[in-house]
Amino acid sequence: MRKIVFDIETKGAAGPDFLDMEISLLAIHDSETDEYSSYLEEDFPKLWPILENADMLIGFNSDHFDIPILNKYYPGDLTKIKSLDILKEVKNASGRRYKLDNIAEATLGEKKSGHGLQAVEWWKEGKIDLIREYCIQDVKVTKGIYDFALRHGKLKFKDYGEIREIELDTSSWEELPEETHGGMTHTLPF
């Protein structure tokens, strides 16, 4: 199963309609190569074949935020690729939304290296390398909590200084939909 863990950074802060946001950089981990890579908008044509051959996209708040924004750039339809939004899974299990940083710190003992508004400032300042480093770190953290949840059936979070657990049913996370054929999702307009 080819899994792509990903995260996007944007050129501006979220406004009333987040779908108006533009991507500054996208980072991925490709389970097929076990490598991290990043893409600016002009590099997206290199990204599309990777996504097209993915069995699953994995992110944090990705169904609500990352995929709809990235779909504006993609010539196919990313919603046809199986996705696993860890935040959605956490909310379904606990009834609450938690920040990636909160879950990562409690589950992995790691914190994010920054926050999205810093990435917006770095974009304005032309500091692409800092955005790349930050976004790849977010992907590493997301991959870490995905792997932990898959192995242990739970994630941890901090609640007023106390570490608590969220039980997750991960049994179907890596099941492929029947319409997936050998990794080709056929979302591009062939």
Residue 90 is predicted with a pLDDT of 96
Average pLDDT, the chain: 90
Give, to the nearest 10 degrees, the angle between helix 128-152 and helix 116-124: 160
Strands (E), 21-99: 23-30, 35-39, 56-59, 83-85
Q: Residue 187: which pLDDT band, with cuts at 50, 70 and 90?
A: low
Residue 71: how many CB atoms within 10 A of its CB? 14
Q: Is the pLDDT reported for residue 95 higher than 80?
A: yes
**pTM of the entire predicted model:** 0.90
- Cβ neighbors of 133 (< 8 A, separation 6 or more) are 113
Please state, in angstroms and rounded to a whole number, the distance separating the CA atoms of residues 60 and 62: 5
What domains can you pick out in the chain, each with its CATH number? 3-167 (3.30.420.10)
Condensed to tens digits (0 to 9), the pLDDT of residues 28-77 reads 999 999 999 999 999 999 999 999 999 999 999 999 999 999 999 999 99
- Cβ neighbors of 95 (< 8 A, separation 6 or more) are none
Return the half-sphere exposure (C-beta side, CA atoms, 13 A cut-off) of residue 51. Answer: 27
